[in-house]
Every structure is written in structure tokens, then in C-alpha cells.
Amino acid sequence: MPQFESVLIPPRLPLVVTMESRDGTFTKDSRLVNCYVETNTAKELWIRKRPGLTVAVTTVTSSGRGVFNWLGDVYAIFDGTLFRNGVSVGSGLNQANGVYTFNQILGATPKMLFGNGLKTYAYTVAGGITSDLNTLNVNFPATNVKGIAYLNGATYVMQVGAQIWGSVVNAVTGAADWTALNFLAAQIEPDNGVALSKQLVYVISFNTWSTEVFFDAGNPVGSPLGPVQGSKISYGCMSADSVQSIDDTLFWMSNGKGASPQFSMLSQLNHEIISTKAVDRLLRASDLTNIYSFQLKLDGHSFYIVTIKNSNVTIVYDVVEGEWHQWTDADGNYFPFVAATYDSLNRHILQHETDGKLYYMDSTVYNDAGRKITTDIFTPNFDASTRRRKHLNIMEFIADQQVGSYLDVRATDNDFISWTNFRRVKLDVRKPILVNCGTFTKRAYHFRHTANTPMRMQAVEVQYDIGTL
């Protein structure tokens, strides 16, 4: 039987796939797990294994509640204790509201500020932790949303009722550093405050279904802030713990009056939805009660990482490539890290959710503290644009040749209901191939890499004969 004209030279099976989810789960459809896409100088798309982890600091086994680089030192909160470069510098912090957010102020005595919404503290190297700021000044709001914004010397926090309070310039811990008049409300819409942040020279108020922008208007009485006219965004914030800033661009899990969660980006006050339909379906099907997020800039990529804990999933947005992927731990569960920063040597540091450790993340490490990284590529269903039966004679894998590297390959011919057994392909040979790959009408593939080696793949070339319907 003659070869079907359209497959005389059949197209490569693409490995750079878009995350899909027909039903809000990751049990079917295409996706990339524990890897990311990279475009090289020749405009070719390759898949690379995500960076691995090594232990940096170990405290007692406890829950991670935030990490921050201040004046070159790494500060981390585990349970109710603040650590500086792995050494305890204070305890008794509030543990009731998850991960803390951090900021800093200048002045004669620079201070690090950190709060979890319920309590806000200040720290100086010489003086240690200053008690919750509300105990020092009755005008400091006792309960706030998460987020501390510093602008032109003043520090701002926000209450749930969307009232934004400001401090005296470069002062937060004195008896007169907060006054009863220095506040204003985000009130274009009658929704509550969710989180406070900053972009460029603006204070950003994330509310339930709207976002408002303020600038330093220099008002002599009351709050110096004033609203930026025409800057209202008709999307609010689903979770304060989803808010991250990458190169002065804000990312967050957004929500409108239509109650449809998605992900947004704010760059130079320009709003853009960045989630895809598949990601939106995932959010709609998920329990969004417990959210972790952090950001990483690594090897020319910027990653916005969000964990939806109660749905056991971590999704990652690559800002450079504009693609969503999934990251997991060694057992296939969510990626169990709650915050990230860097040290004085610019090493990336991640804080674990529960084991009391900080970890270095490094693209030259190919395991997670001795445990394998399972990189999975799930392709979409493929039928070569015809439903005639196709006999697949040989597959060749276009990948970097690395000693000890291998790939496990399996397929599904019934729309992800069941899979064949894995077959192993050695990637440390010049021509990695798999032969006698069966007959199919439509097929999806699962490629898995678990070797403790680098992995960079581009595509799979196939050769098959076309049969009848």
C-alpha cells in the first residue's frame, strides 16, 4: 500500500505543549511537569528539566512562614521564631495566619518590617524584634490585610475595610509614628481590602473585586496619598497569598464580580489576564482556601509559582515564554515550598512548608536533596490529520546526549483511559530510537525522565505506514 501523501515526511511529534485541562484536573490532556520551555538563539523550542534542590539551612522541624533578604542576610520565620542566617534572633511571633510578607524602611536606624495580617513587627540588628506595632501605638490598626508598602519614606498598611494607613516618614516604632488622621479609603467600589502592594511609584490596593491605585499627592493634612484618576481595574484579588512582584510587575490570582477566578498581571499599571482557559478551569474546580506563592528569576527565566494546597497542585507561569507548567515533589504531590529569596552570593533560597529547612535551587543540580525529579511530558492526542490506522515503525528522540540519561516512554490509544507499559530509551547514545511501536488511530504519549542528569529535549521524529479506516 502506498504511503499517504501527507506523511511522506511526517511531522515531528511536538514536545513543547500547552497545558490543557478539559475538566479542571490533570488526569488527561497535554502538560509539562517539572520542566520548562526555552527558546534558543535559533528560535528553536526546547524542554529543560527544572532546577534541583540542596539543603542550605536546617532549623528544628517546623512550618515555614516566610523568608527575606535584608542587608545581605537571610531572615526566615519558622513557626513563631525568626532566624537570621540559621540562628534564632527572636521568638513568640504570631502563627495563626500563614506566610508573612516583608518590607524595609530607611532612616537613621533601618528596620525590617514583617506581618501576617494579624500581627506586624519591626526588627533592627541592634534591637531585635519590636513587639506588634499596635501595642506601641493605638493608631496602628490591630488587624490588617497582608502586604506592607513603602513609598517616599512612608510605610503603608491596609485594613480589611480597605482603609490605608500611613506612618511618619522613615519611622514606624515610636509612640507618635502613626496618627489618627493619616489614612484614606479605597472606595471606588464597596468591596473589602484583600492585599496591599506597590508598583513603581504607586501603592496598589487589591480588593475583593476591584483594584485601586494611589500616588504620593503630597497632601499636607491626613494621608499624603491620592487616587490615580482613571486607573481603577475591574478585577480584585482571590488570595493575598497569591500576590507576587517580579521586576516591578505584579502577579496575582484575580477575581471579578462574575466570580470567575483567574490570574492577572499588572505592568506599568496595564492590566492583563495571563491564565489560559485550562488554568481557569483548574481554578474553578479547586479549593482555593490555602494558597502559597513565590517567584524566581533563574537562567533568564522569571517564574511565578502558585500552590493550591487543598487541590494538591502547583502551577508555574514562565513570564518570559508565556507558558504554564506543573511542578511537583518526588512523590508527585504539590511542590512543598512557601517562599523564596536569595543570599549574599545571589544563590536562590526556597523555604520548605513543614520540615524546618531552607534549600538552594540550582539548575546544575538534577535531584531534590537526593530524591529524584520526575520530569513528565504528556502530549495531546495525535492522529496525523487522518483517522486511518497508522503503523509506527520507529521513533527517534531529539535530545542532548548525556552520560547516564534515559527516557521512559508509554502511550495511550483510548484517550488517556489506560496506558501501555513503559519502554526505556537510552539518551546517552548518538541516535536514541524506539522501534516496533505498534498501530494506532489516534495516540498520546507520556515521556518520563528520572535520571540524575541534565535533560534537554526538542522533539520526536516518527516513521509510520498508513493503513485503512
pLDDT value at residue 228? 96
What integer pLDDT is reported at residue 1 of this predicted model? 40
Residues 325 and 457 in one domain: no
Asked if residues 447 and 395 have their Cβ atoms less than 8 Å apart, the reply is no
What are 66's three cell numbers?
516566610
Reduced to 3 states (helix: H, G, I; strand: E, B; else coil), residue 444 is strand
Burial grade of 297 (CB within 10 A; 0-12, 13-18, 19 or more): middle
User: Quick check: is 46 in a domain?
Assistant: no
Tell me what the pLDDT averaged over the chain comes to: 94
Domain end among 330, 348, 370: 370
Query: Beta 52-58 vs 357-362: how paired, if at all?
Result: antiparallel
Mean pLDDT over residues 230-237, rounded?
94
| Domain annotation covers residue 206 | yes
* Mean pLDDT score, 182-187: 94
Instruction: Mark 360-377 as b/e (b = at least 16 C-beta within 10 Å).
Output: bbeeebbbbeeeebbbbb
Which tens digits make up the pLDDT trace of 283-315? 999 999 999 999 999 999 999 999 999 999 999
Amino acid found at 328: T
CA dihedral 451, 309, 341, 167 (to 10 degrees): 170
| pLDDT at residue 3 in the model | 47
CATH number of residue 393's parent domain: 2.60.120
- Do residues 199 and 105 both lie within one domain? yes
Final residue in a domain of this structure, among 318, 335, 370:
370
Average pLDDT over residues 250-276: 94
Residue 436: band (very low, low, confident or very high) from pLDDT cuts 50, 70, 90: very high
**Percent over 70 (pLDDT), the chain:** 98
Run of H or E residues at 282: helix 277-284
Could you give the CA distance from residue 343 to residue 68 in angstroms, rounded to a whole number?
9
Amino acid at 281: R
Q: Do 366 and 398 share a domain, yes or no?
A: no
36 is a domain residue: no
Identify whether residues 293 and 415 lie together within a single domain. no
Torsion of CA 241, 246, 248, 254, to 10 degrees: -40
- For residues 413-438, give the mean pLDDT: 96
The per-residue pLDDT for range 365-423, each reduced to its tens digit, is 999 999 999 999 999 998 878 888 989 999 999 999 999 999 999 999 999 999 999 99
Among the candidates 370, 403, 436, a domain finishes at: 370
Tell me the C-alpha distance between 337 and 392, whole Å: 42
Q: Which of 334, 322, 241, 333 is nearest to 289 (CA)?
A: 241
Q: What is the CA radius of gyration of the chain?
A: 25
In a domain, 148, yes or no: yes
Domains of the chain: total:
2
Residue 8: its pLDDT value, please? 57
Selection from 52, 51, 38, 43 nearest residue 457 by Cα: 38
pLDDT tens-digit map of 40-53: 888 889 999 999 99
Chain position carrying cell 497569598: 241
Instruction: Quote the pLDDT of residue 6.
Output: 47
Q: Which residue has the higher pLDDT, 86 or 465?
A: 86
Number of H helices, E strands in the chain: 1, 43
Calpha distance 138→124 (Å, rounded): 22
Residue 9: band (very low, low, confident or very high) from pLDDT cuts 50, 70, 90:
low
User: What is the CATH classification number for the domain harbouring 125?
Assistant: 2.130.10.10
Same domain, yes or no, for 309 and 408?
A: no
DSSP string, 298-310: ETTEEEEEEEEGG
Q: Is 133 helix (H, G, I), strand (E, B) or coil?
A: helix
DSSP 173-194: SSTTSEEEEEEEE--SSS--EE
Answer yes or no: is pLDDT of 5 > 70. no
Domain extent at residue 230: 52-370
Residues 248 and 397 in one domain: no
